[in-house]
Amino acid sequence: MSSKGLFGDPENHGEKSGADAPVDRSSPLAERMRPRNLDEFLGQSHLVGSGRILEAALGGDISQSWILWGPPGSGKTTLALLLARASGLRFVPFSAVLSGIKEVREVMTRAREERERSSARTLLFVDEIHRFNTAQQDAFLPFVEKGDILLVGATTENPSFALNSALLSRARVVILQPLDPPTMVELLQTALRDPERGLGGRVQADVETLAAIAHSADGDARRALNTLESAAKLAAGAGTIDAGILAQALQRKVVAHDKSGEAHYDLISALHKSVRNSDENATLYWLARLLFAGEDRRFIARRLIRMAAEDIGLADPFALRVALDAAETFERLGEPEGDLALGLAATYLARARKSNAVYVALGQALADVQRTAAEPVPLHLRNAPTALMKAAGYGAGYRYAHDDPAAAREMVCLPPSLLGRRYFPVKAARDAAERSGPEPAQPS
């Protein structure tokens, strides 16, 4: 399949996509309202504008490839289109969802031929570039290296994990942020007013209603505009989008969450660190985010068990039992009743005194095992179940501490090279440290 068959004629793509392009009123509102120039582009002030990283590129001085990394609806595709228009280069859009290695090579070969024929370079925009496997990503490398193409890739996944290092070394990664609510409200107001591409004042909505749409979209401009369009259709007779109509349009807020991606790890990290910091309110909030997003409850339960062992440990050994009981309770009750047990355990862990003494000590012991020779177990600590072993000295000199209290002070249990090694502070200091841990918070 040729690139023309996939995307239309690449040479002509985008020629009528500027301010003079006709508006297809059958297109979704989010597509109709896509910014046509930099003046219409909202958000990402850390990337665009005077003195920002994309200033020169958006002014037409494009000399390197770019990876645009950001959440859905943050403007990645729009920025790619603006970069293409500013550059004047032959623009070819490419979808990693629809294409394979054969199509990649066809587009690359055509880009090389165009450069050899007319010295024209190609700006290749690859949407969802993280969906390409390593072999497909490698196919871009020689063409990027030789300058046949300038690559602009868009991804919602962390490039550190989703893209191979060879491709990353040849491109500049820029990070787009979710649109903040004030920017989203401005965008929605523009869509309400715009007579050509937007709703043209046919319906009204106050700032509070638009703010509610903005907050429900979690920084995703496309989702916000889709919600506004749905609400406008419901309000066609009334002329005003009120709270009742908005509730119908929203139905239920959908939280962006990838159970194997970055959001998954960011949220569980926030939960763990809030527990470690003894912040019970933040703990419940991040737990609620995970629950609402549909995170695997068993994964949450396992992390709570880990928190009890790693961050509370000896300061409150009962915390481990609480976490284990919560996991078992969820197994018996399931959702949603079992979620309460996870909330109970998370709150208990946040309020509990904290000690990472065992976590640190075990790490030090493992490091010693790695860096020192594996010395034989001292004879007096060896088991001697047979007469031959006893005759060889196994168990000789062992002192039973229950009957000989002095053995706890006098009998050596470490191997000779680690004699005197301490993984824990002396008991008095340890007790003082654990006593100084956070007091359990009182309910308000």
Is residue 138 within a helix (H) or strand (E), and if so which, with residue range? helix 134-138
pTM above 0.75, yes or no: no
CA distances from 402 to 314, 315, 385, 406 (A): 23, 25, 21, 9
pLDDT by residue (tens digit) across 2-55? Answer: 333 333 343 444 444 455 567 777 899 999 999 999 999 999 999 998 889 998
Calculate what percentage of the chain has a pLDDT beyond 90: 55
Average predicted confidence (pLDDT) for the chain: 86
pLDDT by residue (tens digit) across 107-162? Answer: 888 888 888 888 778 888 999 999 888 888 888 888 888 888 889 999 999 999 88
Amino acid 6: pLDDT: 35
b/e 371-384 (16+ beta carbons within 10 angstroms → b): eeeeeeeeeeeeeb
pLDDT by residue (tens digit) across 177-216? Answer: 999 999 999 999 999 999 999 999 889 999 989 998 998 8
Hey, which residues does 174 pair with through a beta bridge? 68
Q: Please, which pLDDT band fits residue 434 given cuts at 50, 70 and 90?
A: low
Longest dimension (CA), the chain: 100
Mean pLDDT across the stretch 80-87?
Answer: 88
Which domains does the chain carry? 3-175 (3.40.50.300), 181-250 (1.10.8.60), 262-351 (1.20.272.10)
